[in-house]
Structure 1
Amino acid sequence: MTVAPRHDTGITRTPGGGATDAVVILSPDETDLLLELDRTFTGWGRASGAREIQPPPVYPVRDLEKFDVYTNFPHLVFAGAALDLEGSRAPSEGRFARGDLQDARIGLSHATCYGAFLYYENARLAEDTSVTLVNRCFRHEDHFSGLRRLLSFQMREIVALGTPEHAQGVLSRFTERILAFADALSLKLEKVPATDPFFEKGGARALLAKVSPVKYEFQAGDLAISSVNNHRNFFGERCDIRHERDGEFVHTSCVAFGLERWLAVLLEQHGDDAPRALEAVRRASARVS
């Protein structure tokens, strides 16, 4: 007989370096709930015409550098390096020293949508396009807190590429769906403007973003669990993605779902009873199809 380590809650792993509650192994019940959430959000994307693509969990640093990741998000991002085989030793106190590592050439992405823009790099689009993808995201938060804030978590996204009308239309439709789904779950969500420094702080895009917000978050209490983001033609320019008909850079937008964050608020709502939360998600998904 197999004995589970816990009945219905995941196992917290603590990396070296003082981080606590940073990495969690989900229980079978929690995993069922997370997968059902992802099936729901994926189904919304596919119903809207989005095809699925499979991104890698890491990218060359030079790819993420195109998006000003290391300039605009230095407080969040991680980089990976191979061991220096000539100088490396066994880890000490749960870590390798800097001298044990080669140059860091691999970037750990903090958002899923970058994979969509890299996939379409140098493309010429004949029509408006949407894709959906899920990936592991990595964030060096100032604190970690169970499923609410993790070092590594999964983010499902629906990404639109094409005309400004297409990019904005996807955001409008999914905003309605997210709010309807939350209502069916009896989950109170508040849509609030947010700021992500996609654009140079002193540039024209940054000034325009202050007048007309480009990102809204859906917050359950103090936790953002989804967002809608209008990037305008930023990623079209950075990846040279253009309209076939006129050569203009495409506009892009994305809808994001932090899967473990949705899991956290649903478990809180249902007293850590994952099977009960799962049934609630299935009922809500049937209503919001």
Structure 2
Amino acid sequence: MNRLTGSDGAPALAILGPPATRLVKELDRVFTGWGTEAGAEEISAPPLFPVTDLEKFDVYTNFPQLAWVAGSLDLTEDQFKPVDGRFGPGAVTEARYGLPHATCYGAYLFHEGNQVADDTLVTLVNRCFRNEDHYGGLRRLASFQMREIVAIGSFEHTQQVLARFTERIQSFAGTLGIDLGKVPAGDPFFRNDNGRALLQKLSPVKYEFQYGDLAIASVNTHRNFFGERCAIRLESGEHAYTSCVAFGLERWIAVLTEHFGEDLDAALTAVRAAAADPS
């Protein structure tokens, strides 16, 4: 059993119970293993970044509806104490930190200003935050965990990684008996860059793996957007290309809960068996 909570009664946050916690840890172990087997090195990122860092990626231009920020409070006056579960605007002095809505930002900021090999691969997990217009338990949360495998290097390398993990996601889901559709997503990732925006219209840069109408994983190509914004270069001197594979861990739990009739112990056994399946 999980505990849902949130402001004004919205099911925006989840405290996972023991069975779901065991399952989410096992899923993360599986997806992390896929990355490390492919040569990825694991890094750890903080759950928030300076606004100046996230601004580099046009986060507040392209995804303003999702944005959360964290600021310090001035509570020296009683009028600034929380009322009805809210701090008034006068209580927040500055919001210098932003809460990311994707995990991969940490990988690009980690390599900022560096030269990387043409076949660089990293993996990381982080808390992501999205200011959605509605929430729906584990299917749609304000804060959730996302594991990513991030390719940085040559364009060929970034595309080979996406092809490899596309096949692995589909095979893993099939072994679990889960029918996933692969569909192009319409996120306006390059809305602030006319050249890339046109390219996105001609060739989708993001594909989602959907169970019904719920996306539980995605593969994303960014060309050299992050390489340019973070001054990441290859030995040749050109800016690095990037791509990433993302897994929404709580969403996988939601799908497995439904698929296995809320028997999470059975789901855990099935995940372990599917991960061990050589096919």
- Shorter-chain TM-score category? over 0.9
Return the alpha-carbon distance in structure 2 between the equivalents of residues 270 and 152 of structure 1.
Answer: 24
Please point out which of 6, 9, 23 is paired with 1:14: 6
Q: Any gaps of 5 or more consecutive residues in structure 2?
A: none
| CA-CA distance at 1:21 after TM superposition | 0.5
Q: TM-score, normalised by structure 1?
A: 0.94
Contact 1:81/1:105 (8 A) holds in 2: yes
**What does 1:80-229 correspond to in 2, within 5 Å?**
80-87=70-77, 89-201=80-192, 203-229=194-220
1:35 Cα shift?
0.4
Deviates more, 1:166-175 or 1:122-131: 122-131
2:60 alignment partner, one of 46, 55, 70: 70
After TM superposition, give the deviation of residue 198 of structure 1 in Å: 2.1
Aligned position for 1:53? 43
Q: Is the 8 A contact 2:126 2:145 kept in 1?
A: yes
Confirm or deny: 8 A CA contact 2:39 2:121 kept in the other structure: yes
d(CA) in 1 for partners of 2:208, 2:9: 26
**Contact 1:180–1:288 (CA<8 Å) still a contact in 2?**
no
Give the superposition deviation at 1:103: 1.3
Question: How many Å separate the matches in 1 of 2:207 and 2:222?
Answer: 12
Between the aligned partners of 2:60 and 2:75, the Cα distance in structure 1 is: 27
Which has the larger share of helix? 2
Q: Tell me by how many angstroms 1:201 deviates.
A: 4.9
Alignment check: 8 A CA contact 2:61 2:192 kept: no
**What is the aligned counterpart of 1:232 among 218, 223, 226?**
223
Q: 1:287 to 1:11 in 2, by over 3 A?
A: same
The equivalent of 1:33 in structure 2 is 23
What is the match of residue 239 of structure 2?
A: 249
Select 1:269's aligned residue among 259, 263, 266: 259
Provide, for residues 62-88 of structure 1, a one-character-per-residue CA deviation record: whole Å limited to 9, x for no partner: 000000000000001100111014346
Amino acid at match of 2:148: E
Whichever residue aligns with residue 11 of structure 1, its letter is R
Deviation at 1:200, TM superposition (A): 2.8
- CA RMSD of the aligned region, Å? 1.2
1:278, CA displacement in angstroms? 0.5
Aligned length: 278
- CA deviation after TM superposition for structure 1 residue 267, in Å: 0.3
CA contact (8 A) 1:78 1:140 kept: yes
Distance in 2 (alpha carbons) for counterparts of 1:207 and 1:72: 15
Other structure's SS at 1:46 match: helix
Q: Residue type matched to 1:101 in 2?
A: V
Please give the alpha-carbon distance, in whole angstroms, between the structure 2 residues aligned to 1:110 and 1:51.
22
Q: Percent identity?
A: 61
* Residue ranges of structure 1 left out of the alignment (5+ in a row): 1-8
| 8 Å Cα contact 1:50-1:132 kept in structure 2 | yes
Which has the larger displacement, 120-129 or 62-71?
Answer: 120-129
**Contact conserved, 1:19 with 1:144, CA < 8 A, in 2?**
no
